[in-house]
Amino acid sequence: MAAAGGANLIPLVAAIIGIGVVSQVLSDRFRVPSVVFLIASGILLGPEVLGIISPDSFGNALQAIVGLSVAIIVFEGAFHIRIDKLREAPAATFRLVTIGAAISFVGTGLVVHYALGAPWAVSFLVGALLVATGPTVIAPILEVVPVRDRVGAALETEGIVNDVTAAIVAVVIFEAILEGVTSPNALVTLFAERLGVGVVVGAIVAGTLYYALQYVDLSPGNAPQNARLLVLAGALVSYAVADFVATEAGIAAVATAGILLGNAEVPYEKEISAFKGDITLLVLSFVFIALAALLDFESLLALGIGGLAVVAAVALVIRPLLVFVSARGDRFTRSEKLFMSFVGPRGIIPASVATLFAIAFREEATRLAAEGMTQQAAVLNEGASILVGTVFLVILTTVLFEAGLARQIAEYLDVIPMRVLVIGGGKVGRALAERLEDRGENVVLIEQDQEVVQTARNLGFTVHHGDGADTDVLRSAGAGNAKVVVAATGDDDVNLLVSQLANSKFDPENVLARANNPDNVEAFEELGVRTISSTIATAQALDNYIERPTMSNWMGEIGRSGDVQEVEVTAENLVGRTIREVGPELPSGCLVALVSRNGDTNVPDADFTLQEGDRITIIGGRDAVRDAERLVHPE
Residues 128-152: b if buried by 16+ CB within 10 A, e if exposed: bbbbbbbbbbbbbbbebbbbbbbbb
Q: Where in the chain is the domain with CATH 3.40.50.720?
A: 419-538
Q: 3-class DSSP state for residue 2?
A: helix
Is residue 408 within 8 Å of 144, Cβ to Cβ?
Answer: no
How far apart CA 380 and CA 368 sit, in angstroms, is: 10
Confidence of residue 5 (pLDDT cuts 50, 70, 90): very low
33 band by pLDDT with thresholds 50, 70 and 90: low
Strand partners, 465: 447
Tens-place pLDDT, residues 326-370: 988 767 888 889 999 998 888 777 877 887 788 788 788 888 888
Task: Give which of 203, 263, 264, 265 is closest to 234, Cα–Cα.
Answer: 203
CATH of span 559-632: 3.30.70.1450
For β-strands 510-515 and 530-533, DSSP reports them as parallel
CATH 3.30.70.1450 residue ranges in the chain? Answer: 559-632
In tens, the pLDDT along 127-172 reads 999 998 877 778 778 777 878 777 887 888 888 778 778 887 888 8
Percent of the chain residues past pLDDT 90, beyond the cut: 14
φ, ψ for residue 511, nearest 5 deg: -125, 120
For strands 600-602 and 590-597, give the pairing: antiparallel
pLDDT tens digits, 505-548: 887 888 888 888 888 888 788 777 788 887 777 787 777 778 77
Q: What is the CATH number of domain 419-538?
A: 3.40.50.720
Query: Which position has the higher pLDDT, 239 or 290?
Result: 239
Q: Give the pLDDT mean for 597-623.
A: 88
> Concatenated DSSP letters for 562-621?
EEEEEEE---TTTTT-BHHHHGGGSPTTEEEEEEEETTEEE---TTPBP-TT-EEEEEEE
Topology annotation, domain 8-54+61-413: Na+/H+ antiporter like fold (1.20.1530)
Q: Give pTM, 2 decimals.
A: 0.67
Specify the domain boundaries for CATH 1.20.1530.20 within the chain: 8-54+61-413
CA distance 287 to 422: 42
If we measure between CA atoms, which residue out of 483, 284, 511 comes closest to residue 399? Answer: 284
CB-based contact 70:356 (threshold 8 Å): yes
| pLDDT score of 77 | 74
The pLDDT, as a whole number, for residue 392 is: 84
Instruction: Pick the closest to residue 262 from 160, 135, 136 (CA basis).
Output: 160
pLDDT value of residue 2 = 40
Euclidean distance between CA atoms 249 and 202, whole angstroms: 10
The dihedral formed by the CA atoms of 4, 355, 323 and 138, expressed in degrees to the nearest 10: -10
- Rounded Cα distance between 386 and 123, Å, is 9
